[in-house]
C-alpha cells in the first residue's frame, strides 16, 4: 500500500459489517479496530472500561447544549470539557483515540462515529453496510445466538440506538446514502463481495492500493 488509507464502516445490526471489516483488514494486512477502542480509551484515560461500555452508542442532549457556547467543540478548552456530562467526556476520549490510531497508518474502523470524527482526513473511505431483514434476522439468531422470539426486537432497538448516537454526535443522518462514500447491500454482494467492492472503490478513489 503506497499511502495510508483509513476505511470506516457503519452497519445495520446483523448485516455482517463487523465481519466484513475484519476480512477487509486481513486482506489489506492493516489493523482492525472496533470495540477494542473502548479498551484503549480506558487504558489511556484511567477511566473504568465499564463506564465506556455503559455509555457505548448512547446520546445525550447536554453535549450540544454545552458545545453551543463554544465553536471549538473538540479543542483544548478544559473548562468546557469539565462541564460536559460523563458520556460526552467519554465520547471525546474515544475520539482522541480514533484520531491517534488513524494517524499511525492504514486501518479499518467499525462503528464509533469514526467517519464523522475523522472527517477531512486524507485517503479515507466511509462505508455503510445494510442487508435484507431476513438475512439480518438469520445472522442475529444463528450467529449471535439471540432467541428467535427476541431477535427482531433486539435488531430494531440496536439500530435505533446506533442511529440516535450517530445523529446526535455528528449532526448527520445514520444510514442515509449521501452520508457515506459507499453503501453496500451485503445480501446482494455477499460478505467477500463487499470486501472486494470496498477495495475496488478505494482503488478508484485514490489509486493507492494497486
pTM of the predicted protein model: 0.81
Domain membership of residue 124 (yes or no) is yes
The conformational region for residue 92 under phi > 0 = left, psi -120 to 50 = alpha, else beta, is alpha
Report the alpha-carbon distance of residue 60 to residue 142 in Å, rounded.
Answer: 33
Domain membership of residue 208 (yes or no) is no
Domain membership of residue 197 (yes or no) is yes
Domain membership of residue 209 (yes or no) is no
Query: Using alpha carbons only, what angle is made at residue 125 by residues 127 and 118, rounded to the nearest 5 degrees?
Result: 100
Domain membership of residue 1 (yes or no) is no
Cα of first residue to Cα of last residue in the chain, in angstroms, is 7
Domain membership of residue 129 (yes or no) is yes
Domain membership of residue 207 (yes or no) is no
C-alpha cell at 93: 476520549
C-alpha cell at 172: 448527520
C-alpha cell at 186: 451485503
Report the alpha-carbon distance of residue 180 to residue 128 in Å, rounded.
Answer: 7
Per-residue pLDDT of the chain (210 residues; tens, 9 = 90+): 456 899 999 999 999 999 999 999 999 999 999 887 776 766 766 665 565 555 555 544 443 334 444 444 444 444 444 444 566 778 888 899 899 999 999 999 999 899 999 999 988 999 999 999 999 999 999 999 999 999 999 999 999 999 998 998 888 999 999 999 999 999 999 999 999 999 999 998 887 545
* Domain membership of residue 134 as a residue range: 6-202
The per-type count for the chain, helices as H runs and strands as E runs, is 11, 5
What CATH number has the domain bearing residue 21? 3.40.50.300
Question: How many domains does the chain divide into?
Answer: 1
Amino acid at each position: 500500500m503506497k499511502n495510508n488509507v483509513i476505511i470506516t464502516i457503519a452497519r445495520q445490526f446483523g448485516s455482517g459489517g463487523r465481519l466484513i471489516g475484519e476480512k477487509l483488514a486481513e486482506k489489506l494486512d492493516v489493523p482492525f479496530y472496533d470495540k477494542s477502542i473502548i479498551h484503549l480509551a480506558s487504558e489511556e484515560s484511567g477511566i473504568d472500561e465499564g463506564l465506556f461500555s455503559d455509555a457505548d452508542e448512547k446520546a445525550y442532549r447536554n453535549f450540544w447544549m454545552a458545545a453551543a457556547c463554544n465553536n471549538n467543540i473538540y479543542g483544548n478548552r478544559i473548562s468546557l470539557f469539565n462541564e460536559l456530562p460523563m458520556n460526552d467526556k467519554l465520547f471525546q476520549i474515544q475520539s482522541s483515540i480514533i484520531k491517534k490510531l488513524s494517524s499511525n497508518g492504514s486501518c479499518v474502523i467499525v462503528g464509533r462515529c469514526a467517519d464523522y470524527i475523522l472527517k477531512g482526513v486524507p485517503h479515507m473511505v466511509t462505508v455503510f453496510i445494510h442487508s435484507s431483514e431476513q438475512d439480518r434476522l438469520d445472522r442475529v439468531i444463528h450467529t449471535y445466538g439471540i432467541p428467535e422470539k427476541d431477535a427482531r426486537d433486539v435488531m430494531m432497538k440496536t439500530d435505533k440506538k446506533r442511529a440516535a448516537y450517530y445523529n446526535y454526535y455528528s449532526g448527520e443522518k445514520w444510514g442515509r446514502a449521501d452520508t457515506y462514500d459507499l453503501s453496500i447491500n451485503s445480501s446482494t454482494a455477499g460478505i467477500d463481495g463487499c470486501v472486494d467492492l470496498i477495495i475496488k472503490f478505494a482503488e478508484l478513489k485514490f489509486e493507492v492500493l494497486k
